[in-house]
């Protein structure tokens, strides 16, 4: 599943970082020595991420050591010994923490390429201090979230979720003329993360007015996204549909509080595909129980919701089980991006999706 592991405000991303790279990268020639790569992900991740065609690409450019760490790398003497010859780690879900001790056991290690989202919680900062390149497929996981969000925004404009639920419950066709529609509606984006930027770019084809709020974004950058940069209060007070795209950081826990929710217009819609704890759960429940706003929630606080949560029964709340990120065949996109990076690494070419140590404080 995805992690909305982007800063609430990140510097403008290079073009190569605005969408998953599934094109063929530079590959090694016959004279190039193939690097030794260890697969540091669990068996389930390997099967989902490295589909046969992608695995074949990897094995053409690298000598692949399968490893299912399961726990601490260094707990297994055989893995510890093998790390001594490893040039790169291809990591994924199920990878244990890459600690300084792991790095000590891998003196040749020059790259950690993550076939998933955030690297913050398993790659020790010591890796950056040692000059090891760290790359992430977070952008490939961001794309399905952006697609999901755009689809949800369009359906929300017609109040499809609320009216559809009402239709099922009452067995009477509701009056669809009460839906505001999408022409000229105002969509607010909280956060210019990778996902937030992708959403803004994809909303250009619709007749929406798009607002965005992010303390690090400039008005010029917002304009390039087809959006107007506004302060938080204005974002909430003007939006007909507001979508959350901030990372979960200490300063963003409860960011969407009772005061901001109170600024939303009556009948507006809140969409959250980021993290449940960014929104004050009690305040959101009060607003939804009053019927004043609709909520489309792919994430909640807590997650999952307890069986007695009122949100499970409210007709103006539409819940999905944390599925906006890569699922099913979408997961292979992460492997494609990671192997493209490994092809570049093997060829001595620059990686396209590097995470810098400076970003660690701003990613979830």
Q: Label residue 43 by pLDDT band (50, 70, 90).
A: confident
Instruction: Identify the band that residue 222 occupies on the pLDDT scale cut at 50, 70 and 90.
Output: very high
Percent share of the chain, pLDDT over 70 = 88
Mean per-residue pLDDT, 64-92: 81
Rounded mean pLDDT of 166-191? 94
Question: Nearest-CA neighbor of 26 among 351, 333, 336, 332?
Answer: 351
Tell me which long-range contacts 68-73 makes (C-beta under 8 A, separation of at least 24): 68/41, 68/42, 68/43, 68/94, 69/40, 69/42, 69/94, 69/95, 69/96, 70/42, 70/94, 70/96, 71/96, 72/96, 72/97, 73/40, 73/98, 73/102, 73/105
Q: 55: Cβ–Cβ under 8 A, 6 or more apart, which residues?
A: none
pLDDT digits (tens, 9 = 90+) for 207-217: 999 999 999 99
- Find the catalytic residue in 194, 197, 277, 322: 322
First-to-final CA distance of the chain: 14
Residue reference for tokens 């879900």: 93
Sequence-ordered list of residues with C-beta below 8 angstroms from that of 260, at least 6 positions apart, any chain: 232, 233, 236
pLDDT higher than 60, residue 51: yes
Q: Which of 46, 114, 162, 275 is catalytic?
A: 275
Scanning the structure block, which residue is given the tokens 């949100």?
A: 311
Residue in 93, 77, 5, 103 with CA at minimum distance from that of residue 41: 93
Residue 26's pLDDT is what? 45
- 206-209: long-range contacts at Cβ-Cβ below 8 A with a sequence spacing of 24 or more? 206/154, 206/182, 207/182, 207/183, 208/153, 208/182, 208/184, 209/184, 209/185
According to the model, what pLDDT value does residue 110 have? 98
For residue 72, the model assigns a pLDDT of: 63
d(CA 347, CA 344): 5
Residue 2's pLDDT is 43
* Mean pLDDT lowest among 67-81, 226-240, 269-283, 301-315: 67-81
pLDDT, residue 69, reads 52
Q: Is 98 in contact with 112 (CB distance < 8 Å)?
A: yes
User: If you average pLDDT over residues 221-248, what whole number do you get?
Assistant: 97
Indicate the DSSP class of residue 24: -
pLDDT at position 238 is: 98
Q: Is 34 assigned a catalytic role?
A: no
Give CA–CA dist 101/107, Å, rounded: 11
Active site includes 238? no
The values of phi and psi at residue 187, to 5°, are: -110, 125
Q: Where are the alpha helices (DSSP H) in 136-189?
A: 138-157, 160-170
In this structure, the strands spanning 63-67 and 88-91 are: unpaired
Mean pLDDT in the chain? 89
- pLDDT tens digits, 236-286: 999 999 999 999 999 999 999 999 999 999 999 999 999 999 999 999 999
Report d(CA 312, CA 298) in Å as an integer.
12
What pLDDT is recorded for position 21? 55
Starting from the edge strand earliest in sequence, which strands make up the sheet with 241-244, in order? 228-229, 209-213, 186-190, 241-244, 269-272, 294-297, 317-319
Of 17, 3, 306, 294, the closest CA to residue 156 belongs to 294
In this structure, what DSSP letter does residue 31 have? T
The full 3-state SS of 45-80, as one line of letters, equals HHHHHCCHHHHHHHHHHCEEEEECCCCCHHHCHHHH
Instruction: Kindly report the backbone phi and psi dihedral angles of residue 16, in degrees, each rounded to the nearest multiple of 5, phi listed first.
Output: -65, -15
Beta pairing partners, 350: none
Is residue 180 within 8 A of residue 267, CB to CB? The reply is yes
Give me the domains of the chain, ranges plus CATH numbers: 21-136+329-362 (3.40.50.720), 142-319 (3.40.50.720)
Pick the catalytic residue from 43, 56, 224, 303.
Answer: 303
- Position 75 scores a pLDDT of 67
Average the pLDDT over 192-216 and give the result.
97
Among this protein's residues, is 275 annotated catalytic? Answer: yes
pLDDT of residue 70: 54
Residue 269 DSSP class:
E
């Amino acid at each position: 599943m995805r992690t909305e592991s982007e800063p609430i405000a990140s510097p403008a991303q290079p073009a190569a970082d605005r969408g998953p790279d599934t094109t063929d990268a530079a590959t090694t020639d016959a004279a190039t020595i193939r690097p030794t790569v260890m697969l540091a992900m669990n068996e389930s991740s390997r099967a989902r991420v490295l589909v046969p065609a992608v695995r074949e690409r990897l094995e053409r450019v690298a000598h692949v050591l399968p490893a299912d760490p399961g726990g601490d790398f260094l707990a297994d003497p055989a893995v510890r010994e093998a790390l001594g010859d490893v040039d790169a780690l291809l990591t994924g879900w199920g990878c244990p923490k890459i600690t300084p001790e792991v790095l000590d056991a891998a003196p040749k290690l020059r790259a950690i390429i993550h076939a998933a989202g955030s690297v913050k919680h398993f790659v020790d900062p010591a890796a950056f201090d040692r000059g090891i390149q760290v790359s992430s497929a977070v952008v490939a996981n961001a794309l399905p979230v952006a697609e999901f969000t755009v689809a949800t925004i369009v359906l929300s404009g017609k109040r499809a979720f609320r009216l559809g639920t009402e239709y099922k419950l009452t067995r009477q066709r509701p009056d669809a003329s009460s839906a505001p529609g999408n022409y000229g509606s105002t969509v607010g984006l909280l956060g210019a993360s990778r996902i937030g930027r992708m959403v803004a770019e994809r909303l250009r084809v619709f007749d929406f007015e798009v607002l965005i709020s992010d303390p690090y974004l400039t008005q010029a950058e917002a304009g390039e996204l087809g959006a107007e940069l506004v302060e938080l209060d204005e974002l909430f007070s003007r939006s007909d549909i507001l979508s959350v795209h901030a990372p979960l950081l200490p300063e963003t826990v409860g960011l969407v509080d009772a005061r901001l929710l109170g600024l939303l217009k009556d009948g507006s819609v809140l969409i959250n595909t980021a993290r449940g704890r960014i929104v004050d759960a009690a305040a959101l429940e009060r607003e939804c129980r009053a019927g004043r706003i609709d909520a489309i929630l792919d994430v909640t606080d807590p997650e999952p919701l307890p069986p007695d949560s009122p949100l499970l029964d409210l007709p103006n709340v539409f819940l999905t089980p944390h599925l906006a990120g890569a699922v099913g065949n979408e997961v292979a996109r992460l492997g494609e991006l990671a192997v493209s990076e490994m092809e570049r690494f093997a060829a001595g070419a620059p990686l396209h999706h590097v995470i810098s140590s400076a970003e660690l404080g701003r990613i979830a």
